[in-house]
Each structure stands twice: as structure tokens, then as C-alpha cells.
């Protein structure tokens, strides 16, 4: 037996808010996903990003409650370069999404920023601080 990675699942409180946020980041959710209790977007390589509403989770796990406190996980999205980190951050915060950390040049050699999805899940945006040289 050899389990293999297949999907990332996020529980969302409002599918009509979550799907447009992730579409802005390039996730290809099918039309009409905003009105469904479960939505999936196929990722490069075949994995999936799955969104489920809190009500859907409670239907198969009645004792479930949303976690409280700080975030314990984040999606990390690689951008083509530092300028794209800045542009995506500005586009999302300009659309009203919460910017947790403005773009900065991190000591580990990346341009980095953090935004929150509508449920407060962290989405890290990053790129190498310097564009690779053409050789």
C-alpha cells in the first residue's frame, strides 16, 4: 500500500465568497461552483483544491466546530517574480480582501506577502527575490 497526495481540502463558511477569491488566484472552479456545498478545482499535476461549506462538514460530522485561534496552515503560491507578488497582493487587497503582511524582501531570499481568504485562511504569495539569470 502506498498512499499518494491527491487533494487539499479547505472548509469555508461562504462558498459564494470563497470561489471568487480562489478564481482571482488562478484556480479553475467550474461555473456554478459558488452555489454548491462542495467545489473542486484541478491543479497542475492532477491534485485538487477542494472547498466544502461548514454545513456540508457538519452533515457527516455533527460534532464538528470551526477551529479558533491563529492559522495552522497556508496555501503557498509561487509567482513569476517579485513584481507579480506585489501586483497580486495589490489586486486582492484592492478588491477588499485582508492583507495580513504586505510584500517584503524576506531574509531567506524571497519576495513574500500574505493575504487571507474570506474565512481567514492564509495564502502566501512568494517569488525568488531576484530573477534567475539567463544562461
- What pLDDT, in 10s, does the model give residues 58-108? 887 788 787 777 666 789 899 999 999 999 999 999 999 999 999 999 888
Instruction: Decide if 115 contacts 89 (C-beta within 8 A).
Output: yes
Instruction: Compute and round to an integer the Cα radius of gyration of the chain.
Output: 16
Residue 3 pLDDT: 63
Number of folded domains in the chain?
2
Q: Does 53 fall in a domain?
A: yes
Q: Which of 112, 9, 101 is nearest to 52 (CA)?
A: 9
Query: What mean pLDDT comes out for the span 33-56?
Result: 92
Give the containing element (helix H, strand E) for 54: helix 54-60
Residue 88 shares a structural domain with residue 55? no
Q: Does 23 fall in a domain?
A: yes
Residue 124 shares a structural domain with residue 78? yes
Q: Which of 30, 36, 40, 29 is nearest to 14 (CA)?
A: 36
Q: Does 1 fall in a domain?
A: no
List CB contacts of 134: < 8 A, sequence separation 6 or more.
Answer: none
- Which among 31, 60, 89 is the end of a domain? 60
* Category of 35 on φ-ψ map: left (φ > 0), alpha (ψ -120 to 50) or beta: alpha
Residue 37 shares a structural domain with residue 79? no
**Which residue range forms the structural domain that includes residue 26?**
7-60
Residue 80 pLDDT: 93
Q: Which of 71, 65, 38 is nearest to 53 (CA)?
A: 38
CATH number at residue 47: 3.10.180.10
Query: What mean pLDDT comes out for the span 118-122?
Result: 90
Query: What mean pLDDT comes out for the span 23-36?
Result: 96
Residue 12 shares a structural domain with residue 52? yes
Residue 50 shares a structural domain with residue 12? yes
Amino acid at each position: 500500500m502506498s498512499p499518494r497526495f491527491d487533494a487539499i481540502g479547505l472548509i469555508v463558511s461562504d462558498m459564494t465568497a470563497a470561489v471568487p477569491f480562489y478564481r482571482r488566484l488562478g484556480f479553475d472552479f467550474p461555473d456554478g461552483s459558488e452555489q454548491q456545498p462542495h467545489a473542486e478545482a484541478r491543479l497542475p499535476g492532477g491534485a485538487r483544491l477542494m472547498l466544502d461549506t461548514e454545513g456540508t462538514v457538519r452533515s457527516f460530522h455533527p460534532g464538528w466546530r470551526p477551529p479558533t485561534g491563529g492559522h495552522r496552515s497556508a496555501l503557498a503560491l509561487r509567482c513569476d517574480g517579485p513584481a507579480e507578488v506585489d501586483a497580486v497582493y495589490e489586486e486582492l487587497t484592492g478588491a477588499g480582501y485582508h492583507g495580513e503582511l504586505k510584500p517584503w524582501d524576506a531574509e531567506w531570499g524571497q519576495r513574500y506577502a500574505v493575504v487571507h481568504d474570506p474565512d481567514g485562511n492564509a495564502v502566501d504569495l512568494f517569488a525568488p527575490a531576484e530573477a534567475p539569470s539567463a544562461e
